Amino acid sequence: MKTHDFWYDLPEELIAQTPLQKRDASRLLVMDRKSGELAHKHFYDIIDYLNPGDCLVMNDSRVLPARLLGHRPTGGAVEVLLLRDLGNKRWECLCKPGRKMQAGNEVTFGNGELKAKVTEVQEDGNRIVEFDYDGIFLEVLERLGKMPLPPYIKEELQDQERYQTVYSKEVGSAAAPTAGLHFTDELLQRIREKGVKTAFVTLHVGLGTFRPVKAEDISEHHMHSELCMISDETAKILNQTKAEGGRIICVGTTSCRTLESLVNEDGSFSPKSKWTDIFIYPGYEFKAMQGLITNFHLPESTLVMLVSAFSSKENVLHAYETAVKERYRFFSFGDAMFIGDLGSVSKM
């Protein structure tokens, strides 16, 4: 299967640059997983497609304000993007301009309350940076850091909390699990009152999620690894849902990949964690998920391939082409899709 098989034409003006004032006012394109039939709704209508006894699974990872703007001793500006905590105040980072951030180079952030030194340059160009600060690093980041928005968002984000889900909790992502950005506390409360269970998993999203597929044959693409985990409480909720015949509906591809990575051979769940590089594309047999709430994704991306595996490439590309025609907003701050077996929906 070729990467270009997952191409669709996306006008640049449809890439959402700013979020809507009301999270759940986004548009929702509903697609029957089997037939490909489409319906145009708003996100607050998602409750109509959830049955009592279903379980909504959400990724509670919280985005680290990981983009730091500093200066070298000469006064030159430097941008440091935190990628991975290595312990002992050391982080794997992306640095710009890279040529000015060689081993031994130093940089200062804010009024000097945070300092850093490059200790190593890796083969892939990433830097190992050792930080110097007083107090708690996360609190320093909250004061000095900015949100690492995706490369296709050019507008400065005024309210940084708008790039967090309302249920975000576990700090560690370099990018938001964006399908969850559409939920409000009020909508989640209505969903629970309908008898729908909610459960949380954690997958810390890495910047590799934006890495393009460069292989001509998709089977030759190697996924980046991300840490994911299921708690004891979530495992119990998922097992109860399955035992009672409810559907497991994932909010976002990160929740999907977490469940598909950690589900037991017999289809049950237990508390566990692992680094996963699971790559889901057509031909994959889903073991955990019966429904998916997701954003629209980049052409030829691994995420389009995952969604196509859950339905079909023809259905998904037709849905995307319809969304373009109907002027839906795309990507992080854009509109959403719900994909499921609509024959199993009993609206209330």
Tens-of-pLDDT digits for all 348 residues of the chain? Answer: 899 999 999 999 999 999 999 999 999 999 999 999 999 999 999 999 999 999 999 999 999 898 899 999 988 999 999 988 889 999 998 898 888 889 999 999 998 999 999 999 988 888 999 999 999 998 999 899 988 887 788 888 888 899 999 999 998 888 889 999 999 999 999 999 999 999 999 999 876 666 778 889 998 888 878 899 999 999 999 999 999 999 999 999 999 999 999 999 999 999 999 999 999 999 999 999 999 999 999 999 999 999 999 999 999 999 999 999 999 999 999 999 999 988 766 554
> What CA–CA distance (Å, rounded) separates 290 from 250?
8
Length of the chain: 348
Range 8-30 burial, b when 16+ CB lie within 10 A, else e: bebeeebbbbebbeebbebbbbb
CB 215: neighbour CB atoms within 10 A?
12
> What CA–CA distance (Å, rounded) separates 297 from 292?
14
What distance lies between CA 280 and its chain's CA centroid?
15
Cα distances (Å, whole numbers) of residue 95 to 73, 102, 292, 331? 16, 10, 35, 25
Cα distances (Å, whole numbers) of residue 113 to 73, 123, 148? 15, 30, 21
What pLDDT score does 348 carry?
Answer: 44
DSSP 125: S
> What CA–CA distance (Å, rounded) separates 321 from 333?
19
Beta-bridge partners for 10: none
The CB-based long-range contact list for 279-283 (8 Å cut-off, 24+ gap) reads 279/221, 279/222, 279/223, 279/305, 280/256, 280/305, 280/306, 280/309, 281/1, 281/218, 281/219, 281/305, 281/306, 281/308, 281/309, 282/1, 282/308, 282/309, 282/312, 282/313, 283/1, 283/309
> What CA–CA distance (Å, rounded) separates 263 from 122?
34
> What CA–CA distance (Å, rounded) separates 122 from 77?
22
User: What pLDDT digit, counting tens, does each position of 126-177 carry?
Assistant: 899 999 999 999 899 989 998 888 778 888 888 889 999 999 999 888 888 9
User: What does pTM read for this prediction?
Assistant: 0.88
